[in-house]
Chain A
Amino acid sequence: MPEISRARTASAITILAVALVCAFVLALSLGPTTVPFAAFIPDDPLGMLAALFSGGNVAGFFSDQTSYLIVYSIRLPRVIAAILVGAGLAAAGTAMQGLFRNSMADPYIIGTSSGGAFGAAVTIVFMGGLFLPVFAFIGAIGSTFLVYAIATRNGRAPVETLLLTGVAISMFFSSILSFLMYSAGNSLHQIVFWLMGGFWNVSWDDVWLALLIPVGGIILFVLARDLNVLSLGEEDALHLGVNVEQFKRILLFVASGLTAVAVSIAGSIGFIGLITPHVMRLLVGPDHRILFPAAMLAGGLFLLAADTIVRSFLGEMPVGVITSFVGAPFFIMLLRRRMRA
């Protein structure tokens, strides 16, 4: 493999950032109705900003009211949520892969998604879907804590035990989920849809929740050097001065918090958290100080692109369908290439 130079990582991050900005603007324009870029811009930008900060009505600053509604009330929150959820899943996946020293790990590996799905199914079946994000969040975070508690002995939670416990708890919640789906009757459709993952219900309220994702991302970025050392192995990390158990707790908490937020907004969207860190590691190398920003940008870009495609051309198909559909062959291609190398 070629040496990964500083220049290459810098340019990769720049390209990703520029691409994300372009995709952002394009996504606001694209959809069932194409909105021209000109309609994004208010007639009196300064006046609008003043009104925005004083809490006044900003709709009046736009001449085309329909376009304004489509872009700023429907598409903008959805686009932001897609970017943040993608970034969050990618960051969580990166953290999990570093922690488990395995590029096959993903954010759901310790039962976070099945816990979230369980929480979502409970409210769908018993409460008509009331507080769905809250239930999904509690389910996701709760299952992670459960896994950690079970895997911990004498204050130590070996990663192998965490992994196996995660698999077991995942299966356990999946079986309850299956039972709920089996007995769901009319709400089965809703559960299935939620499980596939998508952004069709996203509103500004979800965006406020999603703002936790950049916060988590920054925390992970700050911990990147520790994660570098930890990715050499727990004993090595201990010898190099990492307080391994405490660090693992923080890392697991932040990563599953990110995942839980993502899951509660968009359901369990597959593949982003697995493939983005993996691909970015091939591109910019394993140093988490670069890998975290790169993976978050790429994850946001990928999910935004996928969501824009489904809502523009595929009649609101759940986005989780397309991420795996595109992601899996791409991943296989990379794998084949690595086998040849």
Chain B
Amino acid sequence: MIDVEDLCAGYGGKDIISEITFSAGKGGFIGIIGPNGSGKTTLLKAISRVLDISGGVVTLEGRALSDFGQKELARTVGVVPQETAMNFSYTVADIVMMGRFPHKERFVKEDTEDYRIVREAMEVTNVAHLADRLVTDISGGERQRVIIARALAQQPKVILLDEATAHLDINHQVEILSIVRDLGESVTKIGVFHDLNLAAEFCDRIVLMMEGRIRAIGTPAEVLTMERLRDGYGITAMVQTNPVTGRPLVTPLSEGVSPALCGARIHLISGGGTGAGLMYMLAAAGCILTAGVLSPMDSDYMAASRLGIPCITVPAFAPITPAVCDALGAYLDEADVVILTAMPVGEGNLPNIRALTRARCSRLVLYVPGGEEFTDCTPAGDCSYLAKIRAAGCRVVSSRNALYKEVEKLVHTRNKA
């Protein structure tokens, strides 16, 4: 339907975007995401011809958009900007009627057909009741719906949204994007998004831009992955699946990358949710984590899989077999630091602790938040292993900060060695 091919454009002879190629099918909703300055808005401006393109071509149903007359273009492509300044007090109906401008010859007055189209557009966007109000007197959310109605009155085949909901409250964002999504098969939508979750929720396909180029393109689930987000935005984010809609749900983690820990290999032995918080913290710091042995029912396991952490698993209540023990051993040997959290210890996960031999104890940090002790659930009180580990001289910390420092120290000495 609309094909962007090898598009380059920019300001003052300098290209901001280059070699942009993608296409949008009829009726689809494409979201363009990327950090500030990645060229999202420039791309939209190049498509809508506000900006002259310096290379490549945008075609609509096989015809180059650059061949369109200005009015013909306006009959084909509607644009909803982030914000429209309203300096003069036109009525809502006046503004929406301006969407009919490209359809009217100079000396032709608006006829009943135009009024019908305007009314319909206002009904679709729920502003019909505001028709006689002044645009200067309505709220931001209402005004943005009026602008969408104006774009609809143009009867375009493509609607471009430039962060059209960025200034609005969440309820209006959802309302407006739902209106746009539900416009039907006759309108192709391309929108620039700041909010990754809104993009994931409403778009069929996502284009991730970085430094003026397309970094990734695909379904929301294909594009919104931890690695891509780290790569594109430089953040660590947890990507879950929205249990209601099945779309990806991105939660950025506030801890930043720590230069001292970046790249450090850490294995985490935890269970019962005692390790999830640490996983987020250490993953955000840039550590390369492994975890296990865990059961897939464990919330620690869920955290690990959301963060994309490789994890050794056994089914719930199944014993840890020697083969699994070997796999664990391999992870432990590879790790710069091993962290054991104060989890409840029972028959099932005891081999986890047993695997911590004397040699491994030198790299072990015991994380006992608030000085709490391990809950011993073994029938024979086998937790004596723990005493042995402690006797072997492993470090014991009781707060995240202390853990952080201890891990940094260990990584530092290992790097020197």
Of B70, B90, B91, the contact of A242 (CB 8 Å cutoff): B70
Given that A229-B98, A240-B102, A241-B101 are contacting pairs, would A281 and B73 also be in contact in the complex, using a CB cutoff of 8 Å? no
Per-position binary interface string of chain A over residues 278-318, scored 1 when its CB falls under 8 Å from any chain B CB and 0 otherwise = 00010001110000000000000000000000000000000
**In the complex, are the beta carbons of B98 and A240 less than 8 A apart?**
yes
Q: How far is the CA of A243 from the CA of B74 in the complex (A)?
A: 11
**In the complex, are the beta carbons of B94 and A287 less than 8 A apart?**
yes
Identify the closest chain A residue to B72 (Cβ). A241
Provide the residues of chain A in CB contact with B387, threshold 8 Å: none
Provide the residues of chain B in CB contact with A286, threshold 8 Å: 88-90
Identify the closest chain A residue to B106 (Cβ). A222
Provide the residues of chain B in CB contact with A114, threshold 8 Å: none
Q: Which residues of A (243-263) have their CB < 8 Å from a CB of B?
A: 243
**In the complex, are the beta carbons of A238 and B50 less than 8 A apart?**
yes
Q: How far is the CA of A215 from the CA of B224 in the complex (A)?
A: 61
Q: How far is the CA of A281 from the CA of B98 in the complex (A)?
A: 18
Q: Which residues of B (86-101) have their CB < 8 Å from a CB of A?
A: 86-91, 94-95, 98-99, 101
Identify the closest chain A residue to B94 (Cβ). A287
**In the complex, are the beta carbons of B81 and A236 less than 8 A apart?**
yes
Q: How far is the CA of A291 from the CA of B328 in the complex (A)?
A: 81
Interface centre among B70, B73, B86, by most chain A C-beta atoms within 10 angstroms, is B70
Per-position binary interface string of chain A over residues 203-238, scored 1 when its CB falls under 8 Å from any chain B CB and 0 otherwise = 000000000000000000010011011011101101
Of B85, B99, B104, B132, the contact of A233 (CB 8 Å cutoff): B85
Q: Tell me if A3 counts as interface (CB < 8 A to partner B).
A: yes
**In the complex, are the beta carbons of B50 and A235 less than 8 A apart?**
yes
Q: How far is the CA of A242 from the CA of B101 in the complex (A)?
A: 8
Interface centre among B71, B74, B81, B154, by most chain A C-beta atoms within 10 angstroms, is B74
Q: Tell me if A239 counts as interface (CB < 8 A to partner B).
A: yes
Q: How far is the CA of A232 from the CA of B96 in the complex (A)?
A: 12
Q: How far is the CA of A285 from the CA of B90 in the complex (A)?
A: 7
Provide the residues of chain B in CB contact with A3, threshold 8 Å: 91, 132-134
Q: Which residues of B (72-88) have their CB < 8 Å from a CB of A?
A: 72-75, 77-79, 81, 84-88
Given that A1-B134, A228-B98, A229-B101 are contacting pairs, would A240 and B88 also be in contact in the complex, using a CB cutoff of 8 Å? no
Q: How far is the CA of A56 from the CA of B90 in the complex (A)?
A: 53
Interface centre among A222, A228, A232, A285, by most chain B C-beta atoms within 10 angstroms, is A232
Q: Tell me if B42 counts as interface (CB < 8 A to partner A).
A: no
Q: How far is the CA of A229 from the CA of B98 in the complex (A)?
A: 6
**In the complex, are the beta carbons of A225 and B50 less than 8 A apart?**
no
Q: How far is the CA of A241 from the CA of B153 in the complex (A)?
A: 13
Q: Which residues of A (95-120) have their CB < 8 Å from a CB of B?
A: 98, 101-103
**In the complex, are the beta carbons of B90 and A239 less than 8 A apart?**
no
**In the complex, are the beta carbons of B84 and A285 less than 8 A apart?**
no
Provide the residues of chain A in CB contact with B86, threshold 8 Å: 232
Provide the residues of chain A in CB contact with B326, threshold 8 Å: none
Given that A239-B74, A241-B73, A285-B90 are contacting pairs, would A232 and B98 also be in contact in the complex, using a CB cutoff of 8 Å? yes
Given that A238-B50, A241-B73, A241-B102 are contacting pairs, would A101 and B85 also be in contact in the complex, using a CB cutoff of 8 Å? yes
Q: In the complex, how many angstroms separate the beta carbon of A313 from the nearest chain B beta carbon?
A: 38
Identify the closest chain B residue to A155 (Cβ). B52
Per-position binary interface string of chain B over residues 52-84, scored 1 when its CB falls under 8 Å from any chain A CB and 0 otherwise = 000000000000000000111111011101001
Interface centre among B73, B81, B98, B137, by most chain A C-beta atoms within 10 angstroms, is B98
Q: In the complex, how many angstroms separate the beta carbon of B243 from the nearest chain A beta carbon?
A: 39
Q: In the complex, how many angstroms separate the beta carbon of A202 from the nearest chain B beta carbon?
A: 35
Q: Tell me if B352 counts as interface (CB < 8 A to partner A).
A: no
**In the complex, are the beta carbons of B81 and A235 less than 8 A apart?**
yes
Interface centre among A233, A238, A242, A286, by most chain B C-beta atoms within 10 angstroms, is A286
Q: In the complex, how many angstroms separate the beta carbon of A21 from the nearest chain B beta carbon?
A: 28
Interface centre among A1, A103, A235, A240, by most chain B C-beta atoms within 10 angstroms, is A240
Chain A residues within 8 Å of B, Cβ to Cβ? 1, 3-4, 98, 101-103, 222, 225-226, 228-229, 231-233, 235-236, 238-243, 281, 285-287
Extra contacts, 6 of them, besides A228-B94, A232-B95, A236-B84 (Cβ < 8 A), are A3-B134, A233-B85, A238-B49, A239-B81, A240-B154, A241-B73
Between-chain CB contacts (< 8 Å), 28 pairs? A1-B89, A1-B136, A3-B132, A3-B134, A102-B87, A103-B87, A222-B107, A226-B101, A228-B98, A231-B87, A232-B84, A232-B86, A232-B95, A235-B79, A235-B81, A236-B81, A236-B84, A238-B48, A238-B50, A238-B70, A240-B74, A240-B98, A240-B150, A240-B154, A241-B72, A241-B101, A242-B70, A285-B89
